[in-house]
Structure 1
Amino acid sequence: MTTVIEATALRKEFDVRVRVGRLRRQRRTVPAVDRIDLTVTRGEMVGYIGPNGAGKSTTLKMLTGVLTPTSGTVRVCGLDPVARRTRLAMRIGVVFGQRSQLWWDLPLRDSFELLRHIYRVPAARHAARLRRCRSLLDLDGFLDVPVRQLSLGQRMRGELTAALLHGPEVLFLDEPTIGLDVVSRQAVREFLAELGRAGDTTLLLTTHDLADIERLCRRLVVIDHGRVVHDGTIEALHARYGSRRLVVVDLDAPSVDPPVVPGAPLHRVESDGRRLVYALETATAAELVARLSGLTALRDLSIVEPDIEDVVTRLYRTPTQLTR
């Protein structure tokens, strides 16, 4: 498969001044990204996550040519992002949740037309892509509204369209759903999912909303303190950091002495002993239910799938261990 993003030992340092004593300040070098290796192939949808200050946005800025790496090598679409920044801009799309590429006082339609000329997109191709975005993102109701009058959700749908009208090979998204209401967030997710199913655009997504990752990305890269601590599937993340399914059992009567089930330790007791929550380790849900039904009267039960947010929180609390 064709590699579209390749970074090796990528590092970015910043000089900061810290207070030493009452009056003196001392310059200190701080690594924001610390020797990251990353390879992304054409058509992949990759979630790139980490806590605040982990180096996510710094990585994206190096991949798009905004920042120059301190050391290491990086290629995007076969180009050096800094040395070939103008050429690379014609082949990538970028959406930063806190920054706009639209003209504030112009109607959204006019911004799209200006971008067509900037990227030198043939009119027919531009019209076809715009029709697709209008349909999937429901743009028609505000195409003629000045950008400054759009809601945040409407503006973000416009930003996504603007990033895609020139047909980029790679789309970089930095917090694309930040601050959006439920309806707008769902519209953006469905659009990106449709984009991923088409398979002709590579997507690198950074976000604090892990529902975006679960909905869109099979591969998850987690960084902490500027280093990769996980690179693989979400399922592998669950397995690696001890994620477990929970079985919630409602009883007819309160349980004074909750049953012990091998391979499924009791996780917690709720509702004055009428609800027991077991964590599945080596036992299956069927084995647990069979065991419990022979020991006590069951009213209801449900299975709760592991929450990726809990898993990632547990990962952040674990001392950093490199995947390399």
Structure 2
Amino acid sequence: MNVNKNVIEVHHLRKEFKSYSSRSGLTGAFRDLFTRNYKVLAAVDNISLTVKQGEMVGYIGENGAGKSTTIKMLTGILTPTSGSIVVNGMNPHKEREQFVRSIGVVFGQRSQLWWDIAVQESFRLLKKVYRVSDEDYENHMGHVIETLEIGPLLDKPVRKLSLGQRMRCELAAALIHNPPLLFLDEPTIGLDVLVKLKIRKFLKEINEQYKTTILLTTHDLTDIEALCERVVLLDEGKIVYDGKLSQLQMNAVEGKQVQFEFLKETFVTDLPETSNVLWEQKDAATWLANVNGDERIVSELISIVVQKNPIKNVRINEVSTEEIIRKIYEEGMAVT
């Protein structure tokens, strides 16, 4: 198995939609019958992207950024306006029948299970669609069903399942043919914490065991933090960042914040004065140090403060990924 192989190759991908507007008044309505005003909007605007086998990539952005449109083009649902797509060595639009057997797709708000029949009957139908042998089905799906804890749900009709139960069954259905590539579009939307944890644990397992490549779009950034080392950040149809999540956190937030809890009331005169630190008092014995610098400067500051003052607790406040993304969008930052 070549783990360095590119599973997804996208070059200068663009998808345009026409947005029509109506003229006002009776005359305008009559003119609209013959000619309509429209403008062309680019939902995905000249993006290039490669994903290697075994990667778990978070594809994130605000509503309307172009995430779902990209997924629909990568899965062959939409045809690009321009640019090239190669997924699993195939063109998703021209080699449709062979291509769909090489991918799994879970859309959080759409179901691939039949509503009124038992879950296991849906599984059997999908097994025939994907031409999975009895042996392969038993070997692979036994593990999937056990890990996702859906055994007791198999004889229930889908309409009687809770949202969390249905999403676990949807995920299992997408993996019946053990695809090398899995697209997840908002797979944990509306789910409680325990179900999310089960799904995340399962995704890590199949990634480790089968080297399944996963492209994940979600608004729940804790999913990204738990699963993905690499993130691709989309804004208005353009990629504004593609790299490690840890690097995004370092690049996007200037400085760090250290919270000192002292054993007694402490005054600013008791604290070191440097050009890199701005002190902020929370209460009589608690101070925040806003540090403009790297880990070395933070370590030096903590060392100096601890030597001169009796300390109860020291905490470096981590900035959440959600706050980082919000800051990028609010300030219009282009992180590279």
| Alpha-carbon distance between aligned partners in 1 of 2:113 and 2:59, rounded to the nearest angstrom | 25
Q: Tell me if structure 1 keeps the 8 A contact 2:252–2:335.
A: no
1:153 counterpart (155, 159, 164): 164
Corresponding position: 1:275 with 2:286: yes
Tell me which residue corresponds to 2:31. none
Aligned 8 A contact 1:32 1:225 in 2: yes
Partner of 1:262: 274
In the alignment, residue 257 of structure 1 is paired with which amino acid?
A: V
3-state SS of the aligned residue for 1:172?
strand
What CA deviation, in whole Å up to 9, does each residue of 1:207-253 have, x standing for no partner? 11111111111111101010000010012112221254432211233
Shift of 1:279: 3.5
CA displacement at 1:276 relative to structure 2: 1.4
Q: Using a 3 Å threshold, how does the CA distance of structure 1 residues 27 and 246 change in structure 2: closer, same or farther?
A: same
Secondary structure of 2:72's match?
helix
* Structure-1 residue corresponding to 2:14: 11
Distance 1:131 1:203 in 2: 21
Tell me which residue corresponds to 2:237. 226
Cα distance change on mapping 1:318 and 1:139 into 2, 3 Å? same
Instruction: Give the structure 2 partner of residue 63 of structure 1.
Output: 74
The answer to whether the Cα contact below 8 Å between 1:261 and 1:288 also exists between their aligned partners in 2 is no
Deviation at 1:319, TM superposition (A): 2.6
- Note the 1:289-304 alignment, pairs <5 A: 289-304=302-317
Return the offset for 1:156. 0.6
- Runs of 5+ consecutive residues of structure 1 not aligned to the other structure: none
Cα deviation code 1:56-113 (max 9, x no counterpart): 0000000001111011111111111112222211110000000000011111111111
**What are structure 2's unaligned runs of at least 5 residues?**
29-35
Contact (CA 8 Å) 1:244, 1:306: kept in 2 or not? no
% identical aligned pairs: 43
CA contact (8 A) 1:108 1:144 kept: yes
C-alpha contact (below 8 Å) 1:108/1:142 kept by paired residues: yes
Q: Look up the SS of the partner of 1:238 in the other structure.
A: helix
Counting only pairs closer than 5 Å after superposition, residues 121-140 of structure 1 correspond to structure 2 as: 121-140=132-151
TM-score, length-normalised on structure 2? Answer: 0.89
Bigger mean CA offset, 288-297 vs 35-44: 288-297
Match for 2:44 among 33, 41, 52? Answer: 33
| RMSD of Structure 2 on Structure 1 (CA) | 2.0
Q: Which amino acid aligns with 2:304?
A: R
Give the match's secondary structure for 1:211.
Answer: helix
Letter aligned with residue 96 of structure 2: R
Choose 1 or 2 for highest CA Rg: 2
For 2:240 and 2:164, the matched residues in 1 are separated by 33
CA shift at 1:304, angstroms?
A: 2.7
Amino acid at match of 1:321: A
